[in-house]
Structure 1
Amino acid sequence: MAPVLGVIIGSVREGRIGPTVAAWFVRQAVADGRFEVRVQDLRDDDGGFTRWVGESDAFVLVTPEYNHGYSAALKGALDSVKYEWRGKPVGFVSYGGSAGGARAVEQLRQVVAELHMASVRDAPLFARVKKAFDENGDTTDGAAMDAAARMIDQLWWWRRGDASTYPGARLR
């Protein structure tokens, strides 16, 4: 059975582009073939979120940058679960204005570290996101495609550890 990569769409705003960005990344991860990819849209009311997190082996947070930070919905999702995050790797796909969501990712790195997660280095960033994708949800952004491939490699490497044996997993 393939390890599970949980992809979280971190925006709930009307008119959001997050699902387009997430769908692009999911296509990259599925084409890679090493993970079973499951998507959680925070807009959906899912009472099984904690279980979903617990069943995932690695994560990608697809995050907008709102006012130099990440969304309240994403913060709420991260804070609503505690032990199930521990010892698991996490990557980021971000989007926004001229910074491409980089400020949101830097803040999220601090939050996931507190949750005992291992954030990977590479992350696709989409500046001026509304111009980054065509009508089919594809991009010609070579840097983003390369970063996605490197991020998947890093998530694969980190997920080899058993999260249940992570020392912080025993702290309750």
Structure 2
Amino acid sequence: MDSHGPAGQRAVWAVVETDIGPLLLAATGDGLVNVVFHASGRVRATALDRLASRLGGAPVEAPDAPALAEAIRQVHAYFGGTRRDFDLPLDWSLVSGFNRQVLRELRAGVAFGSVVGYGELARRVGQPGAAQAVGTAMGSNPLPVVVPCHRVVESDGGIGGFGGGLETKRRLLALEGVLPEPLF
């Protein structure tokens, strides 16, 4: 079976080793479509099955594919401390409605090294009472790290939740200088 994204492009994937563990990157001809934390073994298999059902066919492992090359380069640069922002075409087809609106605002409006509260992000998209819905949007983010949901925290200063695990969130915030590096 051919594997194609929403616009008929072949979906490709690769796993990139990072300081927070392996990340699965998947792309269509429209851009990066998915980033998955802890992408080894069962997690990788589950993510690829989910992508196949959402995109209409199984993505093909292709670490040298042009659709992934720049994403891989930028991920390495980000974790190497030489890139602060990602400048990649994104395929938003795995998210829609309010969640897409919130994630686009997050990507555009919360810079490297800064954080925003769930309530503030809700206010920015014109839904000031929707802090909990913003949390749901963060949990459904198909493009973590690139669309930096790790930069969203609780208004009382708590770190909040994170789909990649709290230790991963702490490490990303430390990489960006928001938190001190873990002592051990």
- The alignment's TM-score, normalised by the length of structure 2, stands at 0.26
Rg larger in structure: 2
Identify which of structures 1 and 2 has the higher relative contact order when contacts are C-alpha pairs closer than 8 Å and 6+ apart: 1
- The alignment's TM-score, normalised by the length of structure 1, stands at 0.28
